[in-house]
Structure 1
């Protein structure tokens, strides 16, 4: 995973549980231009595997980083196409 990126937009999905963090992430990515980087802040521990799995199986997105910051799970996704 690369640490060389600039956040284009931040999506706050704290308080939402599965599947909403992934649903909201997909909606936000769809609205961004190619190359944009989306930071997603979630409180659902399942978002770590959910967003990673979604990114692995979805064309046009790349998971750049995931960090467990204790109470918040931070995901960074790039729109590639």
Structure 2
């Protein structure tokens, strides 16, 4: 599986905007699609995993970057 996964740039947005925008973007993707979210919001390390659990998405990977975080999410049902 070598398909490129889009990166949704949410840097510079603060809570609750990263989760709200991620919800909308994921809703437009087919089930099983994957998306990287990149955010500078320090609360995202709590908010994104909670959002995934609540919405039924799979949080595959979390990565710390210089001043940011990246989350790989697979859209659930």
- TM-score under structure 1 normalisation? 0.85
1:54-76, CA deviations, whole angstroms, 9 ceiling, x for partnerless residues? 111212x1111111112111011
* Aligned pair partner of 1:19 in 16, 20, 27: 16
The structure-2 alpha-carbon separation of the partners of 1:64 and 1:44, relative to structure 1 and needing over 3 Å to count, comes to: same
Q: Where does residue 68 of structure 2 map in the other structure?
A: 72
Moved over 2 A (4+): 4-9
Q: Where does residue 39 of structure 1 map in the other structure?
A: 36
- Stretches of structure 1 lacking an aligned partner (at least 5 in a row): none
- TM-score under structure 2 normalisation? 0.89
The structure-2 alpha-carbon separation of the partners of 1:28 and 1:72, relative to structure 1 and needing over 3 Å to count, comes to: same
Indicate the RMSD between aligned Cα atoms, in angstroms: 1.8
- Stretches of structure 2 lacking an aligned partner (at least 5 in a row): none
